Structure 1
Amino acid sequence: MSVQTAEELKAIFFDAYDGFADKRLKDISRDAPFIVDDRNKSDFDARGQLFMWFCQMFVTVEASHRVRLSLRGGVPKSAGVTAWLREQRAEQTNFGTEFVITPENLKALDDLIIRFADITKKRYDTKAYKFVVPRVYKSLGVLKKVLEAAWA
């Protein structure tokens, strides 16, 4: 089932990720991001803010076969991840790192998942990586499955 319109792809994301990032929005025709990380109540501090170490992940549907993934906050860093982002022409914005995913480069997400997983296979200085890194690559794996099903 290959999606034909951006609205069809948004509907798939809406179902897979329980709505838009802003839960007040229900209209699929809106250009609003979806939260694709696995955040839960324990990721928020007493003031209701995400912990600084948390890697936020958002997807914005730009077309039926084009989404933009934004990584914000505590994005795990390594030479391998940096090289992958450079290869994919990721943009550094005020909000974080963004790159486009299409059916043509969807398989490249496997390589990014491996590069994130490799961070914790060696010694690392950032203690939060023990918890953050596995969640990042698992969330990327879920995103890849959602896109594979949509673009099959």
Structure 2
Amino acid sequence: MLRQYTKRFHKIIEKTASVAEKVHKNVASLPLEFIENASEGSPNEETKASIDNIKRMQDKTIGAIYKVVRSVNDQVGEIADGVIDEVEQSSVIPPEPDPEAATLKADADCLKEEIAALKAQKAANSKLKAEKAELEAEKALLEAELKAEEADA
């Protein structure tokens, strides 16, 4: 489970870095676009070449910054995986349970409860049968005594 969280965080940071990079490049290009559009008519070749050169440098610099962010994110992910591996191997926390094993255990627990209930019901039935047999014997004895008393009378 912990490993799943680290993978999720890695993906979130990766996507966030990509979005931030795009926004950063768009924001950085705004002043240059303003300069291009503010020139009377179209900018001369020298100005246009300078603006294009600045745009390339900005894109390279911004790209390099986010490349470092992604690299750090990858390294942190690798470190986290290593730590998780060590923790799992040292048995400080148990490894993630197998979902099928958990289902089988739950099924076995349910069966144990059903068996216990059936055993209790069987014991209660046996007790009731014994009690019924005793009562029938007592009834037969009382009926025999009554017949004997009636015969004597």
**Higher alpha-carbon Rg:** 2
Which protein has the bigger strand share? Answer: 1
Q: Which has the higher contact order (CA 8 A, sep 6+)?
A: 2
TM-score between both structures, scaled by the size of structure 2: 0.26
TM-score between both structures, scaled by the size of structure 1: 0.26
